[in-house]
Amino acid sequence: MPTTTDASASPKAQRWNGFLDLVGSRHLAVAVLATITGFYYLLVAITNCTDTETNRRGVAAVLSMEQTIHSAATDWRGIGNETVALIAYILIVGWEFLIAFVLLAAAIAWLRALRGRSAAAGTAAKLSSLGWTMAVLLFAGGFLTIGGEWFRMWANDDVNASSAALQNFLIAAVGLILVHLPRSGESGRIE
């Protein structure tokens, strides 16, 4: 992390500029976002384990398509098998735990990078990128594309999670943009 301190500035100004270089850095912004989103996905996964019945029923309702607009052209897509719904639910919760662990590992790596271990910044960036890509896959791929369009979740007033999925996708997308922005003079490639 380059500093913008001026050698001719007073020691107090140099300390202040050094402090601003840290707290105003992209590394710290990405570290904070990785930490917050890591804990968020951990809480989501834990909640899905403690309120299993409510959330599992929501997944089953989306897959069955019983509470959506009915059309012969799309009704065949519905899956009413409870075992399939349970497997889908377990996979979603497991994936949320994985996202949480990857992003929390990224947060730890960012902490090390912010403490001056430059080698940790590359690991932190890669872990952050992986965690947020996993979130994009779940929420844009799983919830918005498969659940939202294929199973017409958008037309189900009771269990439409499209806005929450979009929220999660956008937060992950912001993280991906931040972590992949090149610094001036860099190619943008994570090494």
Reported pTM: 0.83
pLDDT digits (tens, 9 = 90+) for 19-68: 555 565 788 899 999 999 999 999 999 999 999 888 899 999 999 898 88
Of 93, 103, 91, 90, which is closest to residue 40 (Cα–Cα)? Answer: 103
CA–CA gap between residue 156 and residue 125 (Å, rounded): 38
In one-letter notation, the amino acid at residue 123 is: T
CB 103 within 8 Å of CB 127: yes
| pLDDT tens figures, 100-135 | 999 999 999 999 998 887 778 899 999 999 999 999
For residue 163, count CB atoms less than 10 angstroms from its CB and return exposed for 0-12, middle for 13-18, buried for 19 or more: exposed
Look at residues 108, 63, 107 and name the one whose alpha carbon lies nearest to residue 88. 63
Gap between the Cα atoms of 81 and 106, Å rounded: 38
- Token look-up 């271990």 returns 117
Q: What is the pLDDT of residue 70?
A: 81
Which pLDDT belongs to residue 24?
57
From CA 119, how far away is CA 147, in angstroms rounded? Answer: 40
* Run of H or E including 15: helix 11-23
> Residues of the chain with pLDDT > 70: what percent?
84
Q: Is pLDDT above 90 for 140? A: yes
